[in-house]
Structures are given as C-alpha cells and as structure tokens.
Structure 1
Amino acid sequence: MRSTQVPVGGLAALGVGTALFAVAVALDLRVGDAPIPEWTEEPGWTFAAMGLIQAGLGVVVLWHRHRHPIGWALVGLGFLWILDGLAQSYVRLAVFEQEALPGLTWVLWFLFRFTAVLPMNAAAVLLLFPDGLPRGRWRAAGWASLALMGAGLVLFLVVPSTQREIDASLAALVPGADTDPTSIEALRPVAEQVVTLSWVLGSVGFALALVTVIARYRASRDGERERMRWLAWAVLVMVLLIATSLLVDVTVLNSFFLGAALLVGPVAMVIAIVRPDIVSVENLLVRTLVYGGISVVIVLVDLLALAIISATLGDAFGERQVVLLVLLLAAILYGPMRLRIEGWVRRAVLGDRRDPYAVVASLASTLERSDDDGAQLGAVVEAVSTAFGLSFVQVEVDRSAGERLVASRGERPEHVRSFPIAYRSRTIGRLTLPSHGVRNHLTARDEVLLADVVRQAAAAIRSSQLSDELQRSREGLVLAREEERRRIRRDLHDGLGPSLSAVVFRLESARLTVASDPDSADEQLAETRDVVQEIIKDVRRLVHDLRPPALDDRGLAGALTQLAEHADAAVDVRVRAAIDGGLPAAVEVAAFRIASEAMNNTLRHAHARTCSVTLSADLDELVVEVADDGVGIAADARPGIGLVSLRERAAELGGTVELRCPETGGTIVTARLPLHGRMEP
C-alpha cells in the first residue's frame, strides 16, 4: 500500500549520514596523496558514498511504502557503510599524522572487527525482501542463518588478531594504538582455528540465507514472483560485474565494478518494491544474459587466441597486433554469437514465442492428427504453454447443448486474465492465462502470435464441433423420422383403426335392424356419430402434433397471440411482430415451439407480472425475444431440460439461443434463426 507520510526518521538518518560523509571527505582531503601503508590506501569517502546511496535508496522505499522493512534495512546497512568509510578516513589520518588520535583504539576495532557484521546485514536484507521475513518453515531457516552468522561474528570479535603485518605496521606508525580491545588472550594459541571457525559459521549462515531466498522464489506466485525476478536480475548483474573486475587489471575500473556490484542489488530491490513495472524485467533478464554471455565467450576466445600466439610466435607479435586481433575476433564473433545466444536465452526464459511459424506449424500438425474435441483442446493448451513458457493455461469451449469443455495445464494462480476465443464473430470459448510474471508479459508481437494460435485452434475446434453436430443432426433426423412414423403408425393402428372398424360394425348393425327395430338403429347411429367425433378429434390432434394449425390459419404472430390470450391471467403477455412476408415452414414451427416453451417457463417459474414476445425478421434471420420482469436465474444455475431443448431446436436450423439476466432483473431469451434470404413475399 502506498504511503502518504514523509519518512521523518529515514530523512533524519540520511541527514546524519550526509554529515558523516562530509567529515570523511574532509579527513581524506587532509591526507591527500601522502604515502601511507597499502592496507589503508583506499580513501574512506568511497565507502561512505556507497553507504549514503544505500541509505538514500532506503528513504525512497520508506517514502512510497511507509514502515516497509526493506526501507529501514537499507537505511541501516547504508549507515553501517558510512561509519565504515568514516572509520577508514579517521585511521588514514592517524597513520598520516603518526599520532594516536582520540578514540583511535575503538575506531580501529570498528574498522577491523565490527564491520564483519556487513555480510550479516546483507543476509538480513535478502531475507526481508520483498515484504518481510519468509513465512512457514523457511522463517526458521532465516533465523538460523542469522544465528550462525551472529555466532561467527562474536567469535571474530573476541579472537586475538592474526593480521601480524598490519599490527606491526600500525604499531610502528602510531605507537599506543590497540586493535584488540575485546579479544580474549586465552584464545591466542588457537587464534587461527577460531578465525577459521568464525569464517565457516559465517559462510554456512550466508549460504543458508541464499537457500532460503531461492526457496522463497520458487514458492512465490504472481506479484511476489515478479518482484523476486528483479533480485534474480541483480544477482546476475553482480556476477557479471565481479567477473569483469577479476579480468580487468585496472585499479579504477576494478573499484567501479565492485562498487556497482554492491549497489545493483539495493537498486533492484527499490525498483521491485516501488515501481516493478517501470521497465520490462523480461527484457532486462534476456538482454543481460545475452550480452553477458557474449562478453564471456569473446573474452575466453581472445585469451585462448593470445595464449596460442604467445606459445607459437613469442614476442614477435606486438601490442598493436594484439589489439587488432582482439578487435577482429570480437567483430567476427559478435554477430553470429549474439543471434545464437539470444535465441537460446529467449527460448529458455520466454519459450518458443519468438519462432511463430514453428508454433503454428506444430499446432496444425497436432490438430490434424486429433479427431476428438478433448484431444484438440489439450493440443491447444500444450501449444500455448510451450510457445509462451507459461506455468498455467486453461481453455474453455462452449458446446451447442449448453455443455462446457475445459482443458488446463498447471496450477491456477491467484491473478489471471481471459481472452475470448471467437469464430466468425461468435465467441465460442475463453483462453485463461496468468496475469503476472516475466513469461506472462505479452508484447504486441506476442499478442499477434497468440491471436494466430487461438484463431487456428478455434477454427479446428469449431470444425470438429460442426462435424459432430452434423453427424448428431443426421442421426437425430433419422431417429426423429422413424419415431414419428412409429407414433403415427401406433396412433393409426391402435386408435383410428379400431375406431373406424367400430364405425363400420355399428353402421352394418344399424342397417340390418333399421327395418325391424328403427329405434335401436337410431340409437346405434347416434353412438356411431359420437365415435366419429372422437375420430375427428384424434385426427386433429395428429395434425396439431405435426404442425400447429394456428400457424396456417393465423401465421406465427397470430398463433403466439392466441397462445397468449389463453395464458394465466396473472401475467400480462403481449406479442409484438415486425415481419414482412412469410416464413419458411421449418423456421415458423421452430420459432413457435421456442417462444411457447419460453412463455411457459415464464408462467411457471418466473413469478413475473409482465411478459413480452417480440418477433423481428430481415432477409438473413428471424429474431424471437421473450422477456419478463420475474426473479431471473442464478448465475451458477445449470441449464435445465427446457433451455437445452430450446438450444437444440435452434441448432437444428443453424441458429442460436441466448439466455441472459439483466442487472435490473428478469430474464431475456433471444433466439436467432437463419433465413438465408428465404422470406416469402
């Protein structure tokens, strides 16, 4: 959370540190370029300046994140560096003056002994990054590392000095100076072993701190992982700078590289906490690895070439020729090596997104070999995960029957973002990816590749779905036709057939008795009339089941109006139509069935006061909308048989049914049935 408070304590510490830095500069100017021993030759103001920068970085953190532990840790670490530089300058002055200045004993003790706490402070900063000590079992490991380093520090403070040359030089230049005010004389016989033990404890503690940081990085997610990557970049840069300082035998450059190596970590931490998105850490990592790798390879090749030339030609190869050879090798190797190393690094860090043709071609080959929707969806997930190096990918595809097919890879993070999967302007699914992290950052070029992959996948999946739907439709048509034939045969055989036979029997009986018993014949004819009326009702029922007669008598709008007139009086049902011309018979029947089913659902379940049915059509499609002001449908409700039936009726004609519940309440069912220009005048 951003802070709006001025870090008074941090600014005060920075002010004191600035004053101490000025004192160190003044002391070093007093000494100037006078010859002094090598062990104190380095001016103290350089260390104080480094500490001042670190303290300033800590204040920046506190300004943006009030009371953030890293802010105070950097201020404390920087202040320790400032005191170390001031102590160095004070000792240089004492050596220059060859006088035991006031407090020199404790200044020497601080410079040569207590500053050994610097690695412990650095470990504490690492353990606190990015938002305090780690949680869980690694918190105990962090405390254990600090305890080990603290134990090593205590041993170093009490063991007698083993730096005999420095002690002798100091005693000769500044008589009376004591570098061991806290040492235990009884440890002098085993001083070397105690120093070694102190070094081992400190090294093990620092190594444990590094292991804890690595474990924290591996367990981090989302925003924390992205901030930890800044630390990883800083470690990489530190390694490159230190390696460069070892190869370059120039004192000024060595000091610059070592100073930069010590500052790059705090700078990266501040950026990660204050503005982690100020630049792309992805590009920083890639470019650092690329150019660092190029530099290392070129230097090694140059050293190898120089070694071979020295062994074969000796001193015949002059300095100018050596410089030309180095430049020539660098020019020859730089181009090819940069491309190769950049390709390796980007593939390792970002996946195969830089080779879009290979990604698309691989996906196309996989989709061609897969016939099942699940297998194709898995291929899409695999392709996106591999191409972009993502830890989590999920693809969802909606089916026409209301089902949803889902395929995923990896553990779903806390923060994700979704991309629609569209086919011919129709959304058929969603692609879900992590929203944070180096590999999850998508450039404009990455988004183009992702769109190509998704578009290809959508076309393949939709084609497979259409093929399956076509096959199911064919099977459904055959089954429906045979079922309809069976029903008509059953109705004719079991209903109309016996009824007509009864009519024939009664008419024959009446004919035989009409002369001898007219009353009986008249009674039989009356019964026959009733049977014929029932037969007529059965015929009408058969006709209605095949196609509602009201559609032929009144049209679609009139048939729905008639249906609304017979609806529940508690619900005001109104039908509005804007249709110019006649509709194809199949579309008309499907629209009537969909609208009547939606109206029935409203009357039975919606608890609505009003219901409107709207019909509109052009040359391309018929739109049927049924809206009510009822209670609506829960967002997590599973589609019932009625909604599935509506979608199936629309899908038989290549149409769609959409159900939505506006925030204002109610339910709206919208069916779109294609006409393909078949409107009748």
Structure 2
Amino acid sequence: MNRRATVLLPTVGGLLVGGAAVAVELVADDGSFGHQVVPGGVWIYAVVGAALAVLTGALAATGRGRLALGCSVFAVSALTAALLRAHLHWSLTAPPTGSTAGLLAEIWVVKVTTLIPQLFVSFALVLYPDGRLPGGRWRRISVASVAYSVCSGIPQILGPGTLDPVPVVGTDPGNSVFEGRHVLVAPVVGAPLEWWMPVIALFAIVVALPLQLYVPFLRWCASTGAEREQLYWVLWAVVAVGLCALADTIIREGTLDAWLITLGTALFALAMAAGLLGTRVSGEAMLTHTVVYGGLWVLVLALDLAFLSVLTFALGDSLAQQDVILAVLFCSAVIYAPVRAALWRVVRRVLLGQRENPYDVVAGLAAGLEQADEGRDQLQAVARAVGRAFGVSYVAVEVERSGGSRTTATVGTPPQDVRRLPIAYRGRVVGRLVLPARGLRTRLNRRDEALLSDLIRQAAVAARTTQLADALQDNRERLVLTREEERRRLRRDLHDGLGPSLGGAVFQLDAARLAVDRDPEAAVRQLQATETHLLGVMDDVRRLVSDLRPPALDSLGLVAALRQQGELVAGLDVRVVAAPLGHLPAAVEVAAYRIAGEALTNVARHAQARRCTIRLAVEDGALLVEVADDGTGIAADREAGVGLLSLRERADELGGRVEITCPPTGGTVVRAWLPTSVVTPQPEELLA
C-alpha cells in the first residue's frame, strides 16, 4: 500500500463515521431527554475523531506503526463518543420507565470515550515526533505529568454526573436517571468528590499541561532540519489554541470550555499530521504569521472591549439606550478609530519594519542611491534600505567582479543561517542579496515578496553600476599598466636597439671621413657598409611604427588596407564592399582593421570557405564591420576560442558589440558595431 492510500484509508473512515454521527444528530429532536442526559454537540467529537484519524494515517504512512496504533485508540474513542451521543439524542426522547441499567452503562461508555481523546494532547506533546520520551530529568517530569493527567480523569469516569470535561460532577435530583444516587466520596477527610475534582482538574491545567507544552520547545531548541520543521507545527498549534483561549476569555469572560478543549485537540492532531506529511506551507511561516497577526488581533480586540467598557461606564444610566449607542459610535469614529489605527501601524512597524509602506521604502532607496557615491556606497544604501523595510538585523549585497572576486556591503552581524536571493539585471545574474533564513521578520507574504522584488530591481541597477564602476577602474589600471609597459618596451627598443645602431653608423661615417683622403676606395667601402647598416636601422624603425599602428592604414586607408589583407589569404576569394565612411577616429580604424583581420584568419583556418565578403558601413553613429563566408559554420556546442574572444574584447574596448551568427543558408556572419563618437586624445594626454 502506497503512502497516499495509507493516509486516505483512516481519513475516509473517520469522515464517514463522523458524518454518520452528525447525520443522526440532525434528525434528532433538540428537546429530547437525551440532550439533558448527555449534553454537548456531536459535531465536536466527530471533528476530533476525523482529525485523529488523519493523524493515524500520517503516522502509519511515515513508518510509526506503534504510534499509529496508539493514536487509533483516541480516534476510535472520539468517533464512538460522537455515535453514542447522537444515538442517545435520537433514541432517548423521554425519561425511561423501566430498568435504567443499560442506559447507565451506555452513558458511562459515552463518558469514558469522551474523556479519553482529551488525554491525547498530554501523550502527543511528550512523544511527538519520534515516539521517544525526552532525555534527562525531563523524562521523569514528562512521565509524572502525563500520569497525573490520566489520574485526573478517573474521578470523572467513576462519578455519575455531567459529561463536560471541566469537571463539576454531582447529584442531579431532577434527573430520573440519577435520582437517588450520590457521588463517590473521596478517601481524604471525607471530602465529597464534587469539591475536590475541580481542584484536581485545575492543577492538571495549571501545572501538568504547561510542563507538557514545554517539552516540544525543548525538542525544538535541540532539533535541526526536518524534525525542526515538524516541531514548528506543534508550536503553531500551541500558539493558535492559546490565542483562541485568550480571545474567548476576553469576549465571554470564560475559561476553557468543552468545545475549545475538544477543537484544540483536533487542531493539535491536524498540525502534527501536517508536520509529518510535509506541506507546501512552512510550519515556521505559519507560526510567525500566527504570532504576528493573531497577537495583533487579540490585542486590538482587548482594546476595543476595554474602550467600550470604559465608555459605557462613563455614560452610565443617565442616557437612553439609543443615545448611548450614538455616543459610542461617535466616540469610536472620532477618537478611538484614529488612535487604534495609529497603534496598529506602530506595532506592525516595530514587529515587521516599514514593509507596510512600500512607496516610502522604494522612494527612500532611490533617494539613498542618489546621494551615495558609485560602487560600495550604493550597495550600502541598498542594504540599509532592505534592513529598514523588513526590520531584519542583517543584510548583505554581494556583487560579482571580474576575475572571481566579489564586492560586498553588509549591515549588521551575520546569523548562523542565511538565504541568498539572486540579483538579475537584464536576465543576467550580477549579484546576490543575503538575508537571515530564520526569524519572525524573515517570513514574507506575497505583498512582501512584491516589495522585495522592487527593491531587488533597484539593487540590480546599483549592482550593475558597481560592476561597471569596478570594470572602469580595472580598465583604467590596465590601461596605465599597458601604457607603462609599452613605454618600457619602446624605451628598451630605442635604447638597446636603435640607439646603438645609430651610434655605430656615426662611428662608420667618421671612419669613412678619416679614410677619404688617405684611401678613397676604403672610404667608399665604409660608406657602403654604413648604408647597409642604416637600411637595417630603417627596418627597425618601421617595425616599431608598425607595432604602434598598422602602416597600411596610413598609406592606403581602411578599405584598401582590408583589400590588401584579403589578397594575402591564399585560396579564398575576398571581396570588400564599403559605403562612404567619412572621417573615422584612429582607434575605430585600428579596431575595424584588427577585427576584420582576425575574422579572415578564422575563415581561412576553420571555415573551409571559398568566398568571403567584408562590408563596411556607417549606421546610426556606428561603424558596421561585417565579415560573411560560405563555409561550414560554427557548431552549437563548440566553445568560443581565443579568436572569437579577441573580437569581443576589441569591440568592448570602444563600447561596441559583436554578433556572431550562423544563417540557415550556411556559413558564418560576424558583425561588429563600433561607435564613431570615440573621443580622440589630445597630444598632451598621449604624453601624460
């Protein structure tokens, strides 16, 4: 049997039996004698029985067979109580005239099956979720508290009185069933059972139950992972029942009534089943939302009742009822409603931060980004804005840099558990937002998630700006280093190569001058050697100049230089098509020449093409360099090589871009757009 069937089988059975009991109750007479003998709603026990049946299935499905068997006892007892109550309400329409032995036995069974499910919470709290008692001294405390809870129900089982779980058991002279019967007498000082039974029950509620409630908290403190999530559901049930009891006390000035205890039992069972089976909703999220919104609701309810009580007392009996109602409505609308709304906002801001005012949060972040400097200061502004918005104690914004390094701005001290949310800019992850993984303020609803998305979009812009600022600084540093390295190379070439060569030429000319009168032929030979030497020096000068800028660009121009370069590629028909280009910056000409040359090299080496076309045009303020061939194209799974990366780097240096595509008709098309508005450096900048 699979897991779903294991859960569904007892669940469906519990619902069917509970539904049958409720159906019988619906057809019973509300004024029947059975309602007097066994008061209380049948539906309450049907709900408890169904909830316990669900927990039984969950325990069985998760491999806790012995616990499932024990839970089934509570489920069967609750469903039996519902069925027998419904049967008595339906069948006992009038006081019996004959023997009442069978009726008393059925009433006693109802009493027993009613009290047994109420002991479920005591057992479940100390055994959930693994079925083992806590260790150390709390094992003995747990056993003692559960034993006391069980013993506190025995007098109610033995006493022939009301069936309410808040025990006031005594004689009922007006009831013919119990007429002439007296309650049991306690063995201490002859005190009647009806006197000390409430004391026993009160002690169980005030002392034993809090000890049992403390056990899941101890387990939660020492737990991790899945067990911690399961215990979150139990703590949620504790908080939910406590808030319901507090609200019941505020509204009705009552204590733990039968319906509250019974439905609390059902809530505990369903919460434990949810923890065992796992749900899409986190138990931690349920707990935090219940604490915040439930606690605020109870607080506002108490304030409402206190305000109405004070106002009613102040008005007294001097006014008519209609005037009192009008006065209450007027004071509530003019005085109390604004105070209550302001108090609600203050409490929520203290508990949850500024998330209730998303516009203020986004506007504050925009103002902070405007005032902050580029780079880390902007990231710091984002971290502060997120911290204020959600009231969390730690926020970090991480931005990836080139070379694997990372820029981080933090606010607060990092906790033990964190979660990282990606920051994306135009579909590309540029960083991460780090928040605490646990805590009241880290739980986000849909509105909070929408606000966080808005903040992340702002953070993405700041992160991208930081990346660009870092890249600009890196490029500046690289440019300075490259410039100085180039200067060092030129100095070395001039000092070690060209300088000695020119010096040698001077010495040769001087030797020729001295020999011209004495030995003209030797002087001629010396001049010829000097000429050869100077030709070599000229070659060195051309090499130095060629390294600085391709000489073909100055002598031929960009279009003719590309034609010349295409003619040097063997076995490839290269055609250059160019529209009027006008005056182009020197950096753009060099980049276009290098990109086209690199693309031609790739075509000759890898494309197996026969024809290649180079097209040059100025479009929308950018020089388009297009190199198209009829070769084999580029495989989709092939990684970009050094040549393709070099194309992109040369375009990126000028703020341009490169696009490489393989059309369906075949071949490869390389397009590069180079802005023609590149600033040309002044001579003093070149000499700086």
Quote how far apart the aligned CAs of 1:355 are: 2.1
**1: CA distance between counterparts of 2:211 and 2:345?**
38
**2: CA distance between counterparts of 1:457 and 1:205?**
48
Is residue 527 from structure 1 mapped to residue 529 from structure 2 by the alignment?
Answer: yes
Q: SS at 1:385's partner residue? A: helix
Is residue 151 from structure 1 mapped to residue 152 from structure 2 by the alignment?
Answer: no
The one of 37, 61, 67 equivalent to 1:67 is 61
Quote how far apart the aligned CAs of 1:586 are: 0.8
Q: SS at 2:11's partner residue? A: helix
Q: Structure 1 pair 465/88, CA: closer, same or farther in 2 (3 Å)?
A: closer
Is residue 101 from structure 1 mapped to residue 101 from structure 2 by the alignment?
Answer: yes
The one of 48, 51, 59 equivalent to 2:45 is 51
**1: CA distance between counterparts of 2:348 and 2:125?**
27
What one-letter code is carried by the residue in structure 1 that aligns with 2:586? Answer: A
Q: Check the 8 A contact 2:424/2:460 in 1, yes or no.
A: no
Aligned position for 2:585? 584
Is residue 538 from structure 1 mapped to residue 543 from structure 2 by the alignment?
Answer: no
Q: Check the 8 A contact 2:353/2:389 in 1, yes or no.
A: yes
Quote how far apart the aligned CAs of 1:404 are: 3.9
The one of 36, 39, 43 equivalent to 1:42 is 39
Aligned position for 1:7? 8
Is residue 343 from structure 1 mapped to residue 337 from structure 2 by the alignment?
Answer: no
Aligned position for 2:384? 382
Q: Check the 8 A contact 2:234/2:271 in 1, yes or no.
A: no
Q: TM-score under structure 1 normalisation?
A: 0.67
**2: CA distance between counterparts of 1:558 and 1:440?**
67
Q: Check the 8 A contact 2:420/2:433 in 1, yes or no.
A: no
**1: CA distance between counterparts of 2:566 and 2:417?**
51
Q: Check the 8 A contact 1:87/1:110 in 2, yes or no.
A: yes
Q: Check the 8 A contact 1:302/1:326 in 2, yes or no.
A: yes
Quote how far apart the aligned CAs of 1:509 are: 2.1
Aligned position for 2:164? none
Aligned position for 1:447? 450
**2: CA distance between counterparts of 1:247 and 1:237?**
14
What one-letter code is carried by the residue in structure 2 that aligns with 1:49? Answer: W
**2: CA distance between counterparts of 1:559 and 1:4?**
79
Is residue 203 from structure 1 mapped to residue 205 from structure 2 by the alignment?
Answer: no
Q: Check the 8 A contact 1:576/1:613 in 2, yes or no.
A: yes
What one-letter code is carried by the residue in structure 1 that aligns with 2:45? Answer: G
The one of 300, 304, 307 equivalent to 2:313 is 307
What one-letter code is carried by the residue in structure 1 that aligns with 2:302? Answer: V
Q: Check the 8 A contact 1:148/1:205 in 2, yes or no.
A: no
Q: SS at 2:399's partner residue? A: strand
**2: CA distance between counterparts of 1:370 and 1:229?**
44
Quote how far apart the aligned CAs of 1:3 are: 3.8
Is residue 118 from structure 1 mapped to residue 121 from structure 2 by the alignment?
Answer: no
Deviations 1:211-249 (A, max 9, x none): 358759998899979978975884476246423552489
**1: CA distance between counterparts of 2:131 and 2:623?**
61
Q: SS at 1:97's partner residue? A: coil
Q: Check the 8 A contact 1:155/1:198 in 2, yes or no.
A: no
**1: CA distance between counterparts of 2:548 and 2:429?**
35
Deviations 1:523-582 (A, max 9, x none): 534533442232122112210221123444677788789889999x9xx99999886455
Q: Aligned runs of 1:412-451 on 2, under 5 Å? A: 417-421=421-425, 429=431, 431=433, 441=444, 443=446, 447=450, 450-451=453-454
Quote how far apart the aligned CAs of 1:162 are: 8.2
**Greater shift after overlay, 498-507 or 187-196?**
187-196
Quote how far apart the aligned CAs of 1:298 are: 1.6
Q: SS at 2:101's partner residue? A: coil
Q: Aligned-pair RMSD on alpha carbons?
A: 6.4
**1: CA distance between counterparts of 2:670 and 2:434?**
28
Aligned position for 2:301? 295
What one-letter code is carried by the residue in structure 2 that aligns with 1:298? Answer: D
**1: CA distance between counterparts of 2:487 and 2:44?**
93
Q: Structure 1 pair 412/73, CA: closer, same or farther in 2 (3 Å)?
A: farther
Q: Structure 1 pair 428/159, CA: closer, same or farther in 2 (3 Å)?
A: closer
Q: Check the 8 A contact 1:400/1:648 in 2, yes or no.
A: no
Q: Check the 8 A contact 1:114/1:157 in 2, yes or no.
A: no
Q: Structure 1 pair 482/172, CA: closer, same or farther in 2 (3 Å)?
A: closer
Aligned position for 1:663? none
**Greater shift after overlay, 408-417 or 502-511?**
408-417
Aligned length: 635
Q: TM-score under structure 2 normalisation?
A: 0.66
**2: CA distance between counterparts of 1:2 and 1:73?**
19
Q: SS at 2:385's partner residue? A: helix
Q: Structure 1 pair 87/469, CA: closer, same or farther in 2 (3 Å)?
A: closer
What one-letter code is carried by the residue in structure 2 that aligns with 1:496? Answer: L
**Structure 2 residues without counterparts, runs of 5 or longer:** 162-167, 628-632, 662-667, 681-688
Q: Structure 1 pair 526/121, CA: closer, same or farther in 2 (3 Å)?
A: farther
**2: CA distance between counterparts of 1:72 and 1:614?**
83
Q: Structure 1 pair 548/136, CA: closer, same or farther in 2 (3 Å)?
A: farther
The one of 70, 78, 83 equivalent to 1:81 is 78
Aligned position for 2:630? none
Q: Structure 1 pair 6/461, CA: closer, same or farther in 2 (3 Å)?
A: closer
**Greater shift after overlay, 371-380 or 61-70?**
61-70
Q: Structure 1 pair 104/72, CA: closer, same or farther in 2 (3 Å)?
A: same
Q: SS at 1:102's partner residue? A: helix
- Percent identity of paired positions between Structure 1 and Structure 2: 30
Q: SS at 2:169's partner residue? A: helix
Q: SS at 2:354's partner residue? A: coil
Q: Aligned runs of 1:619-658 on 2, under 5 Å? A: 619-621=620-622, 652-655=653-656
**2: CA distance between counterparts of 1:338 and 1:402?**
53
What one-letter code is carried by the residue in structure 2 that aligns with 1:122? Answer: V
Q: Aligned runs of 1:268-667 on 2, under 5 Å? A: 276=281, 291-310=297-316, 315-332=317-334, 335-337=337-339, 339-344=341-346, 346-348=348-350, 350-360=352-362, 362-363=364-365, 366-367=368-369, 370-371=372-373, 373-389=375-391, 395-399=397-401, 403-407=405-409, 417-421=421-425, 429=431, 431=433, 441=444, 443=446, 447=450, 450-451=453-454, 453-454=455-456, 456-457=458-459, 484-485=486-487, 487-513=489-515, 517=519, 520-521=522-523, 523-552=525-554, 580-582=579-581, 583-590=584-591, 618-621=619-622, 652-655=653-656
Quote how far apart the aligned CAs of 1:173 are: 4.3
**1: CA distance between counterparts of 2:518 and 2:575?**
63
